Amino acid sequence: MSFKLAVIGTGYVGLPLIREAIRAGIPTFGFDIDLDRLGEMRAGRSRVDDISDDELATMLTNGFTPTAEPSDLDECDTYVICVPTPLTEDGGPDLSAVISSAEMIAKRVRPGDLVVLESTTYPGTTEEVVGPILETSGHVVGRDILLAFSPERIDPGNPRFSLRNTPKVVGGVDERSTARATELYSRVCDEVVIASGTREAELAKLLENTYRHVNIALMNELAQLAHELDIDLWESIRCASTKPFGFHAFYPGPGVGGHCIPIDPNYLSHHIRSRLRHPFRFVELAQEINAGMPAYVARRTQDLLNDLGRPVRGSRILLLGVTYKENIADQRESPARDVATALLHLGADLHYWDPYVAQWQSGGSPIPRVMDVAEAAVDMDCAILLQNHRELTPDRLAAFGQKLLDTRGVTVTGRRL
Q: Is the Cβ–Cβ distance between 386 and 319 less than 8 Å? A: yes
State how far the Cα of 62 lies from the Cα of 345, in Å rounded to an integer: 52
- CB-CB neighbours of 67 under 10 Å: 16
For 110, list phi and psi in degrees, rounded to 5. -125, 160
State how far the Cα of 26 lies from the Cα of 4, in Å rounded to an integer: 6
The SS3 assignment for 146 reads: strand
Closest C-alpha to 267, from 189, 205, 188: 205
Q: Look up 260 and say whether it is catalytic.
A: yes
Write the CB contacts of 350 (distance below 8 Å, at least 6 apart in sequence): 317, 319, 340, 343, 344, 362, 367, 368
Q: Determine which one of 76, 189, 260, 382 is catalytic.
A: 260
| Helical spans, DSSP H, in 124-247 | 125, 131-134, 175-188, 198-228, 233-240
Q: Is the Cβ–Cβ distance between 83 and 44 less than 8 Å? A: no
- CB-CB neighbours of 304 under 10 Å: 23
State how far the Cα of 330 lies from the Cα of 313, in Å rounded to an integer: 30
Q: Is the Cβ–Cβ distance between 323 and 355 less than 8 Å? A: no
- CB-CB neighbours of 417 under 10 Å: 26
Give me the active site residues, please.
260
